[in-house]
Chain A
Amino acid sequence: MQKKMAYSFPDEVLEHVFSFIQSDKDRNAVSMVCKSWYDIERWCRRKIFVGNCYAVNPRIVIRRFPEVRSIELKGKPHFADFNLVPDGWGGYVFPWILEMARAYPWLEEIRLKRMVVTDESLELIAKSFKNFKVLVLFSCEGFSTDGLAAIAASCKNLRELDLRDSEVDDLSGHWLSHFPETYTSLVSLNISCLGSDEVSFSALERLVGRCPNLRTLLLNRAVPLDKIANILRRAPQLVEFGTGTYTAELRPDVFSYLAGAFSSCKELRSLSGFWEAVPAYIPAIYSVCSRLTSLNLSFATIQNPDLIKLVSLCPSLQRLLVLDYIEDSGLEALASSCKDLQELRVFPSDPFGVEPNVSLTEQGLVAISWGCPKLESVLYFCRQMSNAALVTIAQNRPNLTRFRLCIIDPKTVDYLTHEPLDVGFGAIVEHCKDLRRLSLSGLLTDRVFDYIGTYAKKLEMLSVAFAGDSDLGLHHVLSGCESLRKLEIRDCPFGDKALLANAAKLETMRSLWMSSCSVSFGACKLLGQKMPRLNVEVIDERGHPDSRPESCPVDKLYIYRSVAGPRVDMPPFVWTKDEDSSLRLS
C-alpha cells in the first residue's frame, strides 16, 4: 500500500514540490514523513544550517546531503564575543572547506559565524568552487587581506563579500585591486571591520563604478569623508551605505558636493558608519532621512541636540542603533516621531566609567515602550532600572520577541525600592508570550528563574550573569523552558545538582555555557560518561582539573549535543571525561 502511494508521485514531482519549502524546520519535517521522502528530500536539499560546527562533522553532512549549494556554520559560543573563550579553543573551518572542496564543487555560498578562518581556507575556497557567489564572515578571525585577495582574484561570480565584525590582519589595501577589471557582479561589500589606513581609493572607486548591481556598500574608517561623494556618485542605486570616518573641517564646497551625492541616491534606505561624526556634516544626509528604515549611529560621536534633530527627521525608521548620547530626551523624541520602530539598540559610550556620563535612564526605554507599537527587539545598556519600569514596558509591549537589558553594574538593585529586579523581569516573561531571547542583569534571586521557568515557554536563548542564589534557579530554567536552545551563564552560584538532575534536557538544547559558576570536574566527568551524545568540555587554563580538589569548581564549562562524538582538535586547556592526566598528550 505504502509503495503504491510513493509511486503515484514520481520523484521529480515531489522534488519540485519540495523546492518550494525553504525553511530548515519544514525540510526536516518533510524528511521524517517516510523513507522515500527522506531520500528524495536529501538529494534536493540545497541549503544547510549548522548551528554548532561541532554538533556534526563534514563527512556526515556530505553523506546525507550530496547536492548542497549553500552552507552556514557557527563556531564559538556567543560569550567568545566578550573574550570569555580563550584563543585556540576551536571553531576551525578548514576541515570543512577541505571536505566540501571535494564533495561540493558547485557550492555557491558560505556563511560563517565566530569561526577561525585562515588564508589557506580562503585560498582553497577561491580555487575549489567555480560558481562561488556569497562569502559572509561574521565575527570571524585568523585571516588576512591576502586571503581576501585570493577570493577577489578568482571568484568571477562573486556577489557578496561581507566581513562584518571580523578581525582581519589588514596587510594592505591592495587586495581590492585583485578584482579583475572584467569583474562586474558585486552586489554587496562590507569591509567596515578593516582597520588599515591604507585603502586604494582608485581601486575602490573603479570597482564601485563597474558594478551596476551594487546594493550594499559598507566602507571602513580608512575612507575619509571627502571621498564619499565620488563613490556615491558612481553608485546612485545603493540601498545600504556605510560611511568611513565622518569627520572633516567644514568646507562649504565639500559639504554641498556630499549633500548632492546623497540626495541622488533615491534608493538609499540604510545608513551606518559615521565614525567620529561631526555635527557639521550631518545635515548632508538630511535628504535621505525621510526614506531611511535603518540607521546605525553606534559609532557616531554626535550628541544632543544634533542627535535628536537627526532621528526626528526619520519617520520611517524601523531599526536604530545608537549610543547613549541620545539620552532620555532623545528617546522621547524618537518615541513620538518613529512609529514604525521595530528594533532599538542603545550602547554605552563610557562602559567602564564609574559615574554616568549621560542622562540615560530607564525612562527612555519606558517612553519608547509607550510610543512605538511595533517595537519587538531591544538591546539597552543603562545604569539604573526599576521593577515598575519593567512592568510598564512589559504591559505596553507584549509583542517583544527579543529583550536584552544590561544594567552596567552587576547586581544593581531597583533604585526606587532597593529590591531585586525579579518582579520586573517576571513581568516581561509573563506578558511577552512570544519572547525568544532574553538577557538579564541587575540583582536577581532564584525567584526570577522561577518566573522564567513558568512563563517563558517560547524562550530560545537566555543569558544570565551575576544572578541567582542556588541550584534552584538553574533548575527552574532547565525544567521549565520548553523551547530553550541556548543557555549561557557567568558568575552565578549554580552547581552540580541542577545540572545533573536535568541532564536529559541538555540533549534537547544546542548548548550550555557556564563560567565562574560552581560546577565540579567530577560532575562534568559524570555527565560526560552518562550522556554519550553530549560533549562536555571543561575549559580551564589553570592546568589539569585533577590537580585541584575534586569539588573545586571548573573555570568554564561548555556542553553541547553532538552526533560527531568528541572533537579531534581540542587544545591543551580543554578537558573532557576522557581525561587521564598521565595519558594527556601534549
Chain B
Amino acid sequence: MCMELQLGLALPSDPLIIPIKMFDLNSCGYEPGEGLGSNTLSRPLLKLGPSDININNSSSSSPSRSGGSRKRGFDEVQRFDENRIFPKTLPLLLSTNQPNDEHDPNGLEDNSSSAIFKNDGEGLVGWPPVKTWRKKLLLQIPKGGAVNNNRVAAMAENGCRGRASNSTYVKVKMEGIAIARKIDLSVHHSFETLTSTLMGLFDISDENWKGFKLTYQDIEGDWLLAEDVPWRTFIRSSKCLKLIRSRG
C-alpha cells in the first residue's frame, strides 16, 4: 500500500497552523462553519469497516523469515507459526481460543461505532480502569457471602495480570531476570513437561537446573515450593511461578 503523503510539518512553535495538505477535511463533507448548535454533525469522514481493510487469509500470511528461530521476550507459543491458520478476521477480533487473547478475552466482536458493547463475563483487559492492586483487594471483599475464590485467582494479583477465569496462562519469573515470561499451564500434565518447557524458556541446562527451585504463588497469596505438592494441587492453585536459586 502506497501512501504518498505530504505531512503537515508546521513549526512546533506554531502548533495551531498545521497545513493539512494531504488530508483536506473540507473536501470530505466536513463543514467548519457548522456550529455546535447544530443538531447533526455531517457524515463521519471515514467509517472503517471490514471492506476498508484487506483481510488476509492463511495462504498469503506466511512470512518469509530469515534467520532461524527468533527468541521472544515471552511465551514460545506466541511465536508466529507459518502453518498456523491466520484468523479470517481483523486481528482485533481474535477468537478467545488464540493464546493472544489476553488482550481481549471476550473479543471486541464488532468494532463499528454502532455496536453497543455488552460487558459479559469477565470483561476486557484494563476495563473498567481500576488499578490492578485495587481490583485484587476489592475482589477479596466478602459481598454478602463467601469470597469468590475463582475470581480472586483469576483477576489481577500481585504480579499477575488480570485475565478471564478460563485462561490458564501464568506469569513466570526467574530470580535475577527483570523480564517475566508467560506460559500456558493447560498444555502440561506433569512436572516433567513443565520443567522442560521452563528450561527451554530460560535457557537452563540440565546441570544448571539443579541449582534452581520452582516456587509458585497460590490463590491465597502464599509462596510455596512446587516440589512439595502433587501436580493436581499445583495446577489448580498456582497463579504465578518463580524460579529461585536454591541456596546451599
Contact = CB atoms under 8 A, between A and B. Distances in A.
Contact of A544 (B20, B63, B156): B63
Interface in A424-478: 426, 439, 443, 445-447, 450-451, 454, 463, 465-466, 468-472, 475
Contact of A410 (B16, B119, B134): B119
B124 to A, nearest CB: 8
B113 A347 contact: no
A497 B30 CA distance: 14
Interface string B13-56: 00110101011010000100000100001001111100011111
A500 B25 CA distance: 13
B100 interface: yes
B210 interface: no
Interface stretch (A44-52, A103-111, A211-219, A516-524): A516-524
Contacts of B56: 548-549, 552
A189 to B, nearest CB: 19
Nearest to B1: A550
Given A83-B132, A468-B113, A543 B80 contact: yes
Interface in A487-520: 490-491, 493, 495-498, 500-505, 507-508, 516, 518, 520
Interface in A406-438: 406, 408-411, 413, 426
A465 B127 contact: yes
Which of the listed residues B22, B79, B126, B137 has the most CB atoms from chain A within 10 Å of its own CB?
B126
Contact of A549 (B7, B53, B133): B53
A266 interface: no
Contacts of A581: 63, 65-66
A469 B179 CA distance: 37
Contacts of A304: none
Contacts of B15: 482, 504-505, 508
B44 A472 contact: yes
Nearest to A92: B178
Contacts of A543: 63, 78-80
B159 A82 contact: no
Contacts of B5: 500, 526
A571 B71 CA distance: 11
B199 interface: no
Contact of B9 (A82, A503, A555): A503
B103 interface: yes
Contacts of A63: none
Contacts of A445: 41, 113
A302 to B, nearest CB: 11
B112 interface: yes
Contacts of A349: 138, 141, 143
Contacts of B18: 479, 501-502, 504-505
A470 B126 contact: no
Contact of B1 (A381, A479, A551): A551
A195 interface: yes
Contacts of A181: none
B68 to A, nearest CB: 9
A348 interface: yes
B171 A553 contact: no
Interface in B73-128: 73-74, 78-80, 90-92, 100, 103-104, 108, 111-113, 115-120, 122-128
B10 interface: yes
Interface in A182-201: 193, 195
A566 interface: no
Contact of B137 (A142, A299, A454, A544): A299
Contact of B91 (A193, A323, A446, A542): A542
Interface in A56-101: 79, 81-84, 86-88, 92
B130 interface: yes
Nearest to A221: B137
A582 interface: yes
A547 interface: yes
B247 interface: no
Contact of B131 (A82, A88, A118, A504): A82
B180 A470 contact: no
Contact of A87 (B61, B90, B138, B179): B179
Contacts of A497: 23, 45-46
Interface residues of A, number: 103
Contacts of A555: 91-92, 103
A567 interface: no
B146 interface: no
A276 interface: yes
B132 to A, nearest CB: 6
Size bracket, chain B contacts: 35 or more
Contacts of A470: 44-48
Given A348-B130, A552-B56, A408 B92 contact: no
B91 A500 contact: no
B188 interface: no
B158 interface: yes
B151 interface: yes
B100 A571 contact: no
A357 interface: yes
B213 interface: no
B200 interface: no
B67 interface: yes
B232 interface: no
Given A469-B47, A472-B45, A555-B103, A411 B117 contact: yes
B112 A406 contact: no
Given A349-B141, A454-B36, A493-B113, A500 B100 contact: no
B230 interface: no
B130 A542 contact: no
A4 to B, nearest CB: 30
B23 to A, nearest CB: 4
Contact of A167 (B54, B103, B120, B133): B133
Interface in B135-167: 135, 137-138, 141-143, 151, 155-156, 158-159, 161-162
B187 interface: no
Contacts of B171: 87
Nearest to B135: A351
A573 B178 CA distance: 16
A73 B9 CA distance: 30
Contacts of B211: none
B74 A88 contact: yes
A320 to B, nearest CB: 16
Contacts of A275: 137
A420 to B, nearest CB: 10
Given A354-B119, A572-B72, A83 B126 contact: yes
A541 B182 CA distance: 12
Interface of B: 1, 3, 5, 7-12, 15-16, 18, 20, 22-23, 25, 30, 36, 41, 44-48, 52-56, 61, 63, 65-67, 70-74, 78-80, 90-92, 100, 103-104, 108, 111-113, 115-120, 122-135, 137-138, 141-143, 151, 155-156, 158-159, 161-162, 171, 178-180, 221
Given A81-B131, A504-B9, 7 more contacts: A82-B127, A87-B171, A165-B131, A406-B128, A411-B115, A439-B129, A502-B8
